[in-house]
A and B are shown apart, each in its own frame.
Chain A
């Protein structure tokens, strides 16, 4: 085959391990092909089990996206499966439904109407549930799904038109092109085709601008918001995506079983589905398939063995699943897939990153940088009180285009509080912050980002497992616009290439070109701070807020950083720096504002500030000897 031959030539030229024979993509294609060829010859029972695994894997894949990638979770996916199932079962069998549609839909098309109804209902419910919890901390959504998983189960069992506890029988088979898919062998093909398509789409989604935003959800929403990502919206969309996958699985389930009752949509099943995702590997799409296969096969086995072993019948497999979960969570927190991948890694060559096109044919959004000397950021009489504690008292300051303004002060002077207020993390108790001429009260960080504010964090906030270039590309989030659907269908490649090219350009500029492909967590702390600067620059900011950028840098790195900041100033950026390194600040800053106990005690050029008696006193009383030396 063509794939194999290219694989071999590539392996001889580039394989580092020597024995790496295939790329993951080739392996996947080969396995899918093997499954397709064997499908017709597998025994009836195996086909039926495989179909069930496919159905579960479809739901578990949604949970992988939620749990492992997005840092949320749901215990109630079984209820969404139930919505998909009941919607199609009701449309296909109910005389009321038939009367409503007035015969406009031919019987062969009824299942498709059912699919549509299921998706619409699931979409509406998932959106509502997500919207209610989106502003709250992450654990409210899963708690909410437990309550809703139970509620929907009781509803299914108590609604007369859904057949109560008996459910609905006589669901017709799916008919495709006049051919009824009545057997598991026929419908199983559709199930696996849908599953593989869904996995492909989600794989593409994760490998895109929106995918980076989704991953950023887990790395702390504060960081994502500062990059301009609307985290609440992404969370809801992700939840809806997982729910829709569950509904599609339910639709297929109804036409596979040909009847529905409430039992398979109980909360227990919802929990089992989550177990599949976690045991398989909640951060990996293929982990969903692995987990679904493991749990489904284990369940078959346990339901045979346990009752005779324990001497009574009942839902005992849940004990084993629970213990298995506890074991996996304590020993293999990322599930079993990474372990499997590591073992297989001896033969599988990592997918070679595609060479970046030299001239991307899509332009990222460009910002018109303001004229030098224009006021960019203005704080007027800003105060912040936490109960009785006044952290910031009546602070006023401005940042102009083309200057470096340093904010210094002893520990506890209120620098971080002030920083939070000029970056949209917190609101002042009184006073006003204006950015690019706009009042910013009650605006979230992402609006600050949209108006051209880029920032770094005192405690580095990077996605440690992702490469430096991916982290930096997240900074350019707002400069591109392709959405989820385009990403899933790979219609975003030109824009993606432009984003990557921009990210690489900023990394080169910050002097980390050699590390573009390495995971961010493997860099030194100082280098990680520089990655944060590159990430901020990728957003093409006009205002740059740097929180202790020189901390952890070595002497030469500091000098390089000074040069870079000097260049940026020359380009017309306004830079606000919070820094403890006095030598660094005094040599670099145009103006300095000194805070003590939340109040501005001095403002001026480095020379003026160094001569100011109040500043000397503040620092002499403190523990910072460097300033003293500099002041002499």
Chain B
């Protein structure tokens, strides 16, 4: 019996409704990148880095930061909670296709990531004198949409493995150092050499590279960065599938 596309649409619609009514989630998802951008991007807007203002650099950085947060928390923390409290069992006993549940969470993460990026573009343009062309804006947005995938996959692993009360803490332990080392808050070049070496192994670094490139920082080929992000996605998804199958066998 074929499943109706209506199920997928409804699942995503109600997932978005559920999260948009959750104030503490909204505040941490949207509030943090926006406040940090206002503090570090807008206040120090005249600092110049690589021939352009820091507000422009941080527009890319905090867009990545927002996208990582919404996918790691939106998928990881919520999956851990809904699994831990038995709500997922209710859904799995119903005829809902499992893919609808996961795709809904992915779509909502992307929606939040795009929303945060648009908000930062408006703030940067209005308050920090950042000039971006429509083409640059679209390039940045497409990097954000695709770049969410490895972090969404990582969120899946966390959501499957972590108990609901530990998941947010574990996510922060991964999210914040990865943002710092990946050059999302300040240029990687200003970090100590050994941290720069570590940075090259992080998906956040390559994500930020692509976002920065879309705003005119660096001119190297994007192929390596895209290939690495795709690789991370495949590795994380395979690990999540392995964990899921092992849990199923023990259920």
A and B part of one assembly: no
CB within 8 Å of B: which residues of A?
Answer: none
CB within 8 Å of A: which residues of B?
Answer: none
